[in-house]
Structure 1
């Protein structure tokens, strides 16, 4: 009997060569936030409703969230948002989708035939569910999920995790699944912003450097502190350590420190701040708009701005930081404002993703 079992085990553990040739493909699922299907008001309204009804984005109970989003925000904000989307819309479509599809193609070519790369959007199209259903039919050995957010936040990376697992939980058979949590310290990610900054640094002398990140309500940061003792929304973010390593605000400050070191920016010549407030509740500080209003009063008339929470240019970078904040700065007496582009579809961003896949 023992001999029979040994022979059976040997036959199971040694698949035929014809079978092994069909095993080993890895799915690489790159996911960004999302975009309307068009810059027209109905599509923007549809996008805002899906985005803002996510309980990780507006983290209040369902009924008040439903009334707020569908009764106030989506109906009144969508026409204005549609106008702004039209300002950044490319001939090929939404910048976020255009850059994303370009990266999908470039990453597939860089990884080769052992991988299948697909782009998904947390909100709207191509949806996470539709892309995962394509993966399901391929018999993949594993899926690596890379949310396109350098710093972890519940409203971004956490939401992608939740949606991916919601879909996968319906599968009878699930392959191995790996998630990339954050990549703020990846050398090539940092190098990409340094490279993009060089043309500005070579052409102009700047008085100050702004590192502007997307903001979040303070309550969401506090919720992330499971100890209820570490988070003070202040000097607790001066270093990144075991107890605050998943704190979005602390990760943003760490990103700035790493970029400042790589760019050789002296202490006192840069500020980390947060943009895109929504509503009346307090959001994480300092607020970018408040910071830039004060700079000209201090004699700082020339600024180079970075948006290192975004890997692709969009409304929050091109329009908000690149144009709206420039107008605010100049209105207060500033003279020169430049914005460093995001990584978009640059080769070094694709190299970053290859490294993330290979080391996941």
Structure 2
């Protein structure tokens, strides 16, 4: 007889459309961008912007990109690797644990995953947002949604959350291992590209409203790790990888991709970094994307295709993307440790 699980682990990724059709992509973009933690403006303004402008205009273009990376058998790369991670973690944890996978936007939903866990009468549930660096728009949104749903339960298991794991030893080791699959000496610059955020959101972690963040982050954020500053944690991850690979000073830089709209986002922008590197005579770039734990549209297309083409047009020769964590056994062990260590 199978042993009853007493501990639940909920892995939550950002999300992916159900299919690469324009209809499903529009639905995904609408749910994603209507989140008040993602576009933090008044609801009416957000509705007009997202439903009236962004989703209708971006959906057809994004659908074509999703179609280019979509596998007929396994579907979205993000979903494919997320399922592998979930299954591998379940095997690593054993029968005492029950692991569920959810997407913050679209399917499988957090609501569906929690409804399954509610009926199991678990002693504890540990939620792991699958983002190494904490941001209100990612990990914060997931935690917010879980708390919103679980407060309706008639009983409350012990509940815990992983805030971030930006300097996790095994995570850094996996990224370094994947980088070493390429001839490091072949590249004349190493670029760490993270997902961007509006600068305005950085200052909102201060409840007094007095914190004003510069567009490229505070200087101290580039050398010290702040548990709630996204920029600080991105630079912390870069430093850890640089140290692990023993990269020489001056051979690497950190930048931020995926801007939306005209307001200032965290700088330097990846597109600007590519231009400056090309102008300085750099020809071959090895690009890391340490904000993602699985290859997805932002890595497979935005970096490996879009930025690669852009860099070549600027006079560069090669952009090589370092594979994400995906289902590397060391990353699964890292997840196992995050799942069982309540101190994180």
TM-score, normalised with respect to structure 1: 0.91
* 1:166 maps to which of 139, 143, 148: 148
In the alignment, the residues of structure 1 paired with residue 227 and residue 7 of structure 2 have an alpha-carbon distance, to the nearest angstrom, of 29
Unaligned stretches of 5+ residues in structure 1: 1-20
* 1:348 maps to which of 325, 330, 334: 330
In the alignment, the residues of structure 1 paired with residue 61 and residue 223 of structure 2 have an alpha-carbon distance, to the nearest angstrom, of 39
* 2:218 maps to which of 234, 257, 263: 234
TM-score, normalised with respect to structure 2: 0.95
Matched, 1:211 2:195: no
Work out which of the two has the higher radius of gyration on C-alpha atoms and give 1 or 2. Answer: 1
What secondary structure is seen at the aligned counterpart in 2 of 1:295?
Answer: helix
Matched, 1:278 2:260: yes
Alignment of 1:1-360 (within 5 A): 25-91=6-72, 92-201=74-183, 204-226=185-207, 228-229=210-211, 231-232=213-214, 233-241=217-225, 244-360=226-342
In the alignment, the residues of structure 1 paired with residue 220 and residue 212 of structure 2 have an alpha-carbon distance, to the nearest angstrom, of 7
Contact 2:204/2:211 (<8 A) preserved? no
In the alignment, the residues of structure 1 paired with residue 127 and residue 218 of structure 2 have an alpha-carbon distance, to the nearest angstrom, of 32
What secondary structure is seen at the aligned counterpart in 1 of 2:176?
Answer: helix
Contact 2:194/2:290 (<8 A) preserved? yes
What secondary structure is seen at the aligned counterpart in 1 of 2:116?
Answer: helix
What secondary structure is seen at the aligned counterpart in 1 of 2:172?
Answer: helix
In the alignment, the residues of structure 2 paired with residue 55 and residue 113 of structure 1 have an alpha-carbon distance, to the nearest angstrom, of 38
Offset at residue 229 of structure 1 (A)? 4.3
Unaligned stretches of 5+ residues in structure 2: none
Residue 16 of structure 1 is matched in structure 2 by none
Residue 9 of structure 1 is matched in structure 2 by none
What secondary structure is seen at the aligned counterpart in 2 of 1:32?
Answer: strand
Offset at residue 226 of structure 1 (A)? 3.9
CA distance 1:230–1:101, shift in 2 (3 Å)? same
What secondary structure is seen at the aligned counterpart in 1 of 2:104?
Answer: strand
Offset at residue 236 of structure 1 (A)? 2.9
Offset at residue 311 of structure 1 (A)? 0.4
The number of equivalent residue pairs is 336
Offset at residue 230 of structure 1 (A)? 7.2
Q: Deviations over 1:298-326 (max 9, x none)?
A: 12111100000000111110100111111
Contact 2:203/2:211 (<8 A) preserved? no
What secondary structure is seen at the aligned counterpart in 1 of 2:127?
Answer: strand
Offset at residue 200 of structure 1 (A)? 0.8
Q: Deviations over 1:60-82 (max 9, x none)?
A: 00000011111111111111110
What secondary structure is seen at the aligned counterpart in 1 of 2:253?
Answer: strand
What secondary structure is seen at the aligned counterpart in 2 of 1:200?
Answer: coil
Offset at residue 336 of structure 1 (A)? 2.0
What secondary structure is seen at the aligned counterpart in 2 of 1:199?
Answer: coil
What secondary structure is seen at the aligned counterpart in 1 of 2:186?
Answer: coil
Contact 1:237/1:250 (<8 A) preserved? yes
